[in-house]
Amino acid sequence: MSRPAIKLYNFPRSGHAHRAELMLSLLQLPTELIFVDLAKGAHKTPEFLALNPFGQVPVIDDGGTVVADSNAILVYLAKRYGNDDWLPQEPAAAARVQRWLSVAAGPVAFGPSAARLVTVFGYSFNTEEVINRAHALFTVMEGELSDTPFLTGDKPSIADVANYSYIAHAPEGNVSLEPYPNIRAWLARIEALPGFVPMPRTAAGLQA
């Protein structure tokens, strides 16, 4: 008997939403995509705010278990449906994953993600500042990825899923990946995983 599909409330050009979609696909979980039209304010309706009071995508509904926030969704899916590779139980390994979840919520959000928000969505951030933040982050990541194929070791984890989307799409925010061969090789390894699904490309920035 097939299990019911997990509902994913998403917006296709959101890297946060793509994290959830990618994890669902990597775990081969049946998924029902529910489009949330951010441009029309669908994320601010009472119905959506009942799911996530912060008014943000993504949100999943897994048979009545509602989880909001992309990193929280990754933790839930890994714990519920994954194995210990995606989110290790061993304390030091779990801490390595958490470190990179914090990077995704911090330096990635305020660097490459913010730079892409300027070009794709018209946000009014300080362009030079957010691009410089992105390159500072990528310089550190380039060194970290010189020793391991994935962010926390020899196997992919939710740390990789959390960081992939906005880094892969950094050129849309005028952040070049050319100086970072280790990052580009890491992105390619994620894209080669069984079940990988891409986020739609936008003709913006360096990819215009």
131 sits in the region (left: phi over 0; alpha: psi -120 to 50; else beta) called alpha
Enumerate the CATH 1.20.1050.10 domain ranges in the chain, comma separated: 91-207
Residue 1 has pLDDT above 60, yes or no: no
**For the whole model, what pTM was predicted?**
0.93
Rounded distance, CA 51 to CA 57, Å? Answer: 10
Q: pLDDT tens for residues 58-96?
A: 999 999 999 999 999 999 999 999 988 999 999 999 999
Between CA 133 and CA 174 the distance in angstroms is: 12
Tell me what the mean pLDDT of segment 126-149 comes to.
Answer: 93
Q: What are the backbone angles phi and psi of residue 155, rounded to the nearest 5°?
A: -125, 150
Class of domain 91-207: mainly alpha
Q: For the CA atoms of 108, 40, 59, 14, what is the dihedral angle to 10 degrees?
A: -30
Rounded to an integer, the average pLDDT of 8-19 is 92
Pick the CATH number of 6-81 from 3.40.50.1110, 3.40.30.10, 3.40.50.280, 3.40.640.10: 3.40.30.10
pLDDT confidence tier of residue 119, bands split at 50, 70 and 90: confident
Tell me the C-alpha to C-alpha distance, in Å, between residue 31 and each of 2, 10, 86, 97.
12, 11, 19, 25
What is the DSSP track for 69-110? Answer: SHHHHHHHHHHHHS-TTTS--SHHHHHHHHHHHHHHHTHHHH
Q: How confident is the model at residue 207 (pLDDT cuts 50, 70, 90)?
A: low
Q: Is 188 helix (H, G, I), strand (E, B) or coil?
A: helix
* Portions of the chain given CATH number 3.40.30.10: 6-81
Q: How many CB atoms lie within 10 A of CB 141?
A: 21
Write the pLDDT tens digit of every residue in 20-31. Answer: 999 999 999 999
Residues 161-169 have a mean pLDDT of 96
pLDDT(204) > 80: no
pLDDT at 111 over 60: yes
| 44 or 121, higher pLDDT | 44
Predicted confidence (pLDDT) at residue 128 exceeds the cutoff of 90: no
The residue ranking higher by pLDDT, 91 or 174, is: 91
